[in-house]
Amino acid sequence: MQSYTYLFVDLACISVPFIASFYKKHAFYKEWNSFFKANIIVAILFIIWDSIFTNLGIWGFNTDYLTGIHLGNLPIEEVLFFICIPYCCVFTYFALQHIINHNPLEKIASVLSSFFIITLFVVGLFHFEKLYTSITFLSTAVFLIYLKMKKVNLSYHYFTYFLILPFFFISNGILTGSFLVEPIVWYNDAENLGIRIGNIPVEDSIYGLLLIFMNIELYRYFKNKKTKV
């Protein structure tokens, strides 16, 4: 059963949101067309990024916790990660819009974006030699600038992100070695800041933010496009 550990983490993450997607009053399964169009595009970008970083030895995978099925140099569980986690996040974004009428982050979303943009740019530029840090931080800063220029209301994006964080720390904690003898995913600390939240490199939280925001934005794009048609 040990070889199914990473797969179990993927399935555990998506199980509740998947079941809840069939709630009749607000059925997320009716949004699948928009979600999967968005997800495929973002997943391809992140899989390419992931594959390159794996080749460079910036991170890697412990075969003891994998089924042994690969897509290129990536275990199938890692590929599924880019479907399961975005599904959870976009479902949460969808649900929050029906549950929360007055978003408490409405007034500070722009300030949060400015804080992230400045901080990520400064840290990314000062640690340009660390590939995981620089590419993740600078890419996220650039995307946030784009969203800011487009005047996108990011209050529900941030609400989703902060709500997902505790579950992120649990799932990513398992992947990086919490509750296990060895980590499922290992990192070359020469390519990151060496700052960890438990076992999790701090870069993972920004990598996750970029993954979430890109999926939400493309989901919104395809949903709006469908509505206009």
Residue owning tokens 């943009």: 117
Q: Which residues are bridge partners to 187 per DSSP?
A: 59
- Asked if residue 73 is part of any domain, the answer here is yes
Q: For 126-147, what is each residue's pLDDT tens digit? A: 999 999 999 999 999 999 999 9
User: b/e per residue, 30-46, with b = 16+ CB within 10 A?
Assistant: ebeebbbbbbeebbeeb
> What confidence score (pLDDT) does residue 227 get?
65
Q: Which two tokens stand for residue 10?
A: 């993927």
pTM of the complete model: 0.95
Between 8-12, 57-61, 166-170, the lowest mean confidence (pLDDT) is in 166-170
Q: How high does pLDDT run on average in the chain?
A: 96
**Any domain includes 206:** yes
Domain membership flag for residue 23:
no
For residue 159, give its domain range.
2-9+30-228
For residue 30, how many C-alpha atoms fall within 13 Å in the half-sphere facing its CB?
Answer: 10
- Residues 175, 59: contact at Cβ < 8 Å? no
**Does residue 122 fall inside a structural domain?**
yes
User: Which helix (H) or strand (E) covers residue 188, if one does?
Assistant: none
Q: Is residue 72 part of a domain?
A: yes
pLDDT at 229 over 90: no
* pLDDT tens digits for range 6-56: 999 999 999 999 999 999 999 999 999 999 999 999 999 999 999 999 999
Q: What's the pLDDT score for residue 178?
A: 86
Count of the separate structural domains present in the chain: 1
